[in-house]
Structure formats: structure tokens, C-alpha cells
Amino acid sequence: MKVGIVGSGLVGSAAAYAMVLLGGVREVVLVDLDHKLARAHAEDILHATPFAHPVWTRAGGYEALEGAKVVVIAAGVAQRPGETRLQLLDRNAQVFAQVVPRVLQAAPEAVLLVATNPVDVMTQVAYRLSGLPPGRVVGSGTILDTARFRALLAEHLRVAPQSVHAYVLGEHGDSEVLVWSGAQVGGVPLAAFAEARGRPLTPEDRARIDEGVRRAAYRIIEGKGATYYGIGAGMARLVRAILTDEKGVYTVSAFTPQVEGVKEVALSLPRILGAEGVEATIYPSLDEGEREALRQSATILKEAATSLGF
């Protein structure tokens, strides 16, 4: 199976490397305006394949995407000093206006997997530009936030994170919603499991975990300038879910007709991911506070997309 990655910066190259380590991909093609950069990453990652999986990794132009089942879009521009979020959005929307048509010209059957931030708005931009069914334009959304939430809960409870089932919904950003009310561990409601484990969750514990999830990116960016390993691994996992028609449930972003009264907005909800992208959305049970927080998150995203004309 061939996968294309448009944008060979830190996120795009980390995703390619993670695909080689994870396996399940036969070929990865890196596309970038800076062909020298794309070629360097492709060559470097290819040299890792003897230690991982036999994935043919190469650089090419858009025409090299022909036959790709999934195309990851990690292209975009960085925020300039003094530039507002909306100005950054406008410039990235202009980038997508160039990228999306060229991707679909080469790989019209591909599922588009958006990684560029702010990912929810850029997913909506890509959906509008592509003319594809909404399920075939998927944003990485809150997959990483959900992973952080589960990892921190697991750390507190001293259990494997794979046994924790908890979601982060809405925006991949400051307004994201940690769904405490529906969290479970091994099929047992979170609060009951925590008590039985002798590790009850105090208000202080909840605040610490919330801060750990919500502010993680800020700490990482302060320390090393950008986040890329975590999201790179997440993108590789989503690619495998699509290529294998897994039908797993992931908190990915997609264009949604209505969320808590907010119409036509891209944001993260639990969604079934398979060969054609998002096959179905599973709307979770939320308490009143979580529903209001999700409505606010959807409103913020809707206003940002509307400001761009999308």
C-alpha cells in the first residue's frame, strides 16, 4: 500500500519514520517544495528499514502520489512574530488551495489525512476545497490529547494505558473537552475503579491531569520548539487503521453537520475509521457541563472557519 506525505518538515518526516517502525505500509512518498529536504528525509528513513519494516521510502513530485490510498497533508507555514491566529489561518488556507487540488489530481481515490495546525479548521478548509465526501477528509484531531489523557490516568491508577478508555473531544487546542463522566478502566467506571484501586481521584488530581493534557504542547514547544514525535506516531496509527480497514474508534476531526446546536463544523468526536475514512460517528454520553464545553469549543471553531469563508 502506498502512502503520500505532503510537507516534509518535522511532523511529516516524523510520521514517515513512525510508519516505517510500525509497518503495514509498502511505500511512502515524501513531497515538498524543498525537494532537497524531502529527498534527505526519505534517504535517512530508508536507512532505518533494515532495523524495522521493509518500506520503500522515496521523495517525488505530486505525480509520484499516483495510486496512494492515503495522503497525509502536513504542509503549512509557521506563525510569524506579531501575527494573529487568523492571519496564520489565512496563509495556511492559501497553501491548502494550492496543495489539495494537486493531491487529488494525482490520487483522486485517496483519503486525505490532515495534520497541519490548527488542525480542525484546516480539516474544514481541506473538505471544502476537495469536494470529497466528509468522511474522506480526516484530521488528526484530538488523538494525541486522548492518548495523553489515557496515559496520565493510567499513571495515576498504576495500570496499563491500554486498559483506560477515555476521550478528549472538540478542538485540538485550548477549548478541548476531557470527558471525565464516561471514562472507564477495564469496563468499570473511572471513579469506582479508582476507589477499588486505592487511588481515588481528588479534585487536585483531576486539575493536575487536566493541566497535563491541555498544556502539554505548550511545555514541549517551550522546551524544543515544536511537537512532532507524538503526532507522528498518531498519524502512522491512523494510516494503518485506514489501510487495514480496521474499523477502530478514534477521536479524529471531520466535518460534522451539527454539534450541540452548532452547524457545519469540523471537530473531534469518536469516529469509526476504515478503508474509506470515517465510516460513522459515535456521539458519546456527556454530562451537562461537558455538553456546554463542547458547544463552546464548536462555536470557537465555527467562527474561525467562517472568518476564512469556509
Confidence (pLDDT) at 225: 84
pLDDT at 114 over 80: yes
**Largest Cα–Cα separation, the chain:** 58
53 in active site: no
**Structure confidence by residue, pLDDT tens digits, 221-241:** 889 888 899 999 999 999 999
Inter-residue contact 63 to 108 (CB < 8 Å): no
Mean pLDDT lowest among 65-79, 153-167, 193-207: 65-79
Inter-residue contact 252 to 140 (CB < 8 Å): yes
Confidence (pLDDT) at 80: 63
Beta-carbon-side half-sphere exposure of residue 55 (alpha carbons within 13 Å): 32
pLDDT at 211 over 90: yes
Q: Please give the mean pLDDT across all residues of the chain.
A: 95
**Structure confidence by residue, pLDDT tens digits, 51-101:** 999 999 999 999 999 999 999 999 988 766 666 556 778 889 999 999 999
Mean pLDDT, rounded, for 167-183:
96
